[in-house]
Structure 1
Amino acid sequence: MAPKKIVVFGITGVQGGSVARYLLDDGPEKFEVWGVTRSKTSAKAKALEQQGIKLIEGDLDKPESYEAGLAGADNVWVNADFWLYYDGHNADVAGAREVAQNKGVIDAARRQKVPHITFSALANFGDKFPVPHCDSKVKIVEYLKDIGQNHALVYPAWYFTNVLIFPRRREGDKWIVQWPFPDDKKMTGFAPEQVGAFARLVFRDPEAWNGKEIHCVCDIGSPLEQAAAIFEHLGVTVEVEHLTRERFFSPEFKATLPDELFINYKAILDGIEDPETDTAHALYPGAWYFKDWVANTPALATTFTK
C-alpha cells in the first residue's frame, strides 16, 4: 500500500513541526509528509527538507499559491495562527484573517478532493466568555460541519511552554514568577511539542475519527504545583507572585497584558474547562504530565539559572 500523503500547514511552527515529527517516526512507508511554508529557502525549511519532508511554497492569504500541492493528499493539518496577526488590540482584524486563511485551506482542499481534514481547534467558552482567538476557531468548526466536510478536531490545552514567557524577576537566589492566575487555580495543560502524537491517531485511521474530537488535556495543576515541580527538578527556588482574584481584576494588572490575553485568562479563570486527563493518556500513553515536561525541557535551566 502506498504511503498516505499528509499536507501540514504551519510546518515550521510548534504544532506543525510536531505533527511532522510524529508522522516521520512512523516511517516513509506509512506517511509522505508535505509541508506548506512561505519560503522553501529558509533555514527551517531546508532543515525539514533534510528530514525527508517535501515542501510546498505558499502564502495562506493566496490559496492559489499552494492549491496544486494538495492534489492527491489523503489528509491536511490546518492551523492558521491568530497570534501572527495580533498586535495587542486588533483582535477582530486578526480573527477575521485567521478565519479567511483557514477557510481558504479547506476550500482549496475540497477542490482538490482531499477526503479528510484535521483541524487544530480551541475551546468554545460561549457567549458568557467571548474570547476572540477561540471564537475564530469555533467559526471554522461550524464551517466544516455546515459544508459537510469529513473532519476531525484536535483541541490543544493550555501550553506548558507558557511558563517560559511569564514575567519573572530574580531576588537573591530565587525567582519570582507571575503566573496569571491565583495560586490555587487548576489549569488544564499539555506539552505542545506532543500535539503530533494526537494528530497522528487521526491520520492513521481517519474513518474512525471522522466527526470526532481529541482533547489534549494531559495534566491539571495550579501555579503553586507547577512552581514546585520546577524546583524539584532544577533545585532552583521558584515562587509565584501570589496573584489574588482582586488583583487579577484590577485595572493595574489588566494594563500589564494585551487585551486578548486578559480576556483569555479571565475565561480560563471562571469559564468551563474539562478536568479529565485519563482519556488523553489512554490515547497516547507517552503524553507528558507537567513534571515530565519540566524534565524534558532544557530551556527551563536557561530560564531559571541558579
Structure 2
Amino acid sequence: MSGSGKTIVVFGATGHQGGSTARALLGAGYTVVGITRDPTSPKAKSAESHGVKLYKGDLNFPETYAPALQGAYGVFLNIDFWALFDGVDPLAAKAKEEAQGLAAVTAIKAAGVKHLVYSTLDSLGDVAHFDSKATIAGYVRESGVPYTLLYTSYYYSNILFNMLKEEDGALILDMGVPDEVIVPSFAVEQTGLWAVQAFKPEWVGKDMDVVGECMAISAIATGVSLVTGRKCETRHVTMAEFEADTKTDRGWHNNFKAMIDKRFSRSESESRKVVPDAWTFIQWAKMTGALDKYRK
C-alpha cells in the first residue's frame, strides 16, 4: 500500500469530493484526518466508522484547524463555493471562498506540509465559482508548498437538477444548451481515485485532469434513455437561441459558453492514463442507481 501510514488531512471530509478522497486514501494505507464543522453529523459519523479521524474545524477560522495540520504529510483541499453562495450575489461568495483559500494555504505552509493536492477549476473571467478556485490555485503555486492541482469537471450527477418527467412518462433533459456542446464530466463519487494518484511524488508541481467522459448534450440524453428505458429528449436549443438568451443565470450560461469556446476542456485520454477505471456516464448511472427513479 502506497500510503505507508502517512497522515493526510482532508478538508470537507463529509462532502462529495472530500468523502471520496478520504475513503480512497484509507484504502491506500494513509492515515486520514477529516476536517468537519460538525463531527456529530451522520455523514461525519459514517466517515469515522470507516477509519477517518475527525477534527472539528471551520475554514472561516484557521485557528480551529491549524493544529490538525501539524505533522501531516499532505493535505487535500476543496472548498465548496455553493455553501457560501446566498443565491443572489456570486461575487460575494467568490470573495469568501478566496479568503478561505488564502488562509488555508497560509496555514498549510506554516505547518510544513510536504504535499498539497488542491481541487480547482479554470480561470474563465466570468464564472464566479470557477474564477475563485483559479485565484486560489494561484496562491497555491506561489506558496512554495509542493502541490498538485486537480482540474475537475462537470459532475454526472448535476444532470439530476435538469431532469423533467412529462405526464406521458417521457423524459426531458432541460439543460438550455445546444445538443452538440461537449461537456467534460466525471463521477464525483470517484474523486479519490485521482487524488490518491496525485499524492505520488511524481505528480508534484503538475496539473491533473479529472474526467471520465467528454459527452455531447445529445449523448447524455441518449444515455439516460438507455439506462431508464424511457425516451429522453433535450429542448433542442439552437446555437443562435443560446447566444441570444439573456434570462438564464449568467454563471450557468457563461460556464457552457466556455465549453463551446474550448476555454473549459479536459483530456479524457490523459485522465484515463491516471485512472483507467473511471466510470463512463452509463457506468455511473448503473453503479449508483442515480437514474433508477426514472426507469420504466
- Which TM-score tier does this pair reach, normalised by the shorter chain? over 0.9
TM-superposed deviation, 1:189: 1.1
Cα deviation, 1:201-242, whole Å, max 9, x if unaligned, reads 122x2x211110110122111121111112112211111111
Identity among equivalent pairs (%)? 35
Q: Which residue pairs with 2:137 in the alignment?
A: 141
Q: Normalised by the size of structure 2, how large is the TM-score? A: 0.93
Q: Does 1:247 align with 2:245?
A: no
- 1:120-269 to 2 correspondences below 5 Å: 120-125=119-124, 129-203=125-199, 205=200, 207-251=201-245, 254-255=246-247, 257-269=248-260
TM-superposed deviation, 1:2: 5.1
Distance 1:149 1:66 in 2: 18
Secondary structure in 2 aligned to 1:299? coil
Unaligned 5+ segments in structure 2 are none
Distance 1:305 1:109 in 2: 47
TM-superposed deviation, 1:167: 4.8
Are the aligned partners of 2:21 and 2:196 in contact in 1 as well (CA < 8 Å)? Answer: yes
Residues 289-298 or 155-164, more deviating:
289-298
Q: Normalised by the size of structure 1, how large is the TM-score? A: 0.91
Are the aligned partners of 2:222 and 2:232 in contact in 1 as well (CA < 8 Å)? Answer: yes
Q: Which residue pairs with 2:103 in the alignment?
A: 104
Are the aligned partners of 1:88 and 1:260 in contact in 2 as well (CA < 8 Å)? Answer: no
TM-superposed deviation, 1:259: 3.4
Distance 2:70 2:112 in 1: 8
Unaligned 5+ segments in structure 1 are none
- Pick the aligned partner of 1:280 from 245, 254, 271: 271
Cα deviation, 1:41-90, whole Å, max 9, x if unaligned, reads 11111111111100110111000011111111110011111111113331
- Pick the aligned partner of 2:261 from 265, 270, 293: 270
Secondary structure in 2 aligned to 1:23? helix
State the one-letter code of the partner of 1:262. Answer: H
Cα deviation, 1:250-291, whole Å, max 9, x if unaligned, reads 44xx43x43322222222233424353111111111101122
Are the aligned partners of 1:88 and 1:258 in contact in 2 as well (CA < 8 Å)? Answer: no
CA RMSD of aligned residues (A): 1.7
Q: Which residue pairs with 1:10 in the alignment?
A: 12
- How many residues are treated as equivalent by the alignment? 294
Distance 1:111 1:44 in 2: 30
Distance 1:55 1:180 in 2: 41
Secondary structure in 2 aligned to 1:123? coil
TM-superposed deviation, 1:16: 0.3
Distance 2:249 2:83 in 1: 14
Distance 1:200 1:155 in 2: 14
State the one-letter code of the partner of 1:82. Answer: F
Secondary structure in 1 aligned to 2:166? strand
Task: Mark the CA change 1:250 to 1:168 in structure 2 (over 3 Å): closer, same or farther.
Answer: farther
State the one-letter code of the partner of 2:253. Answer: F
Distance 2:17 2:275 in 1: 16
Task: Mark the CA change 1:161 to 1:231 in structure 2 (over 3 Å): closer, same or farther.
Answer: same
Q: Which residue pairs with 1:289 in the alignment?
A: 280
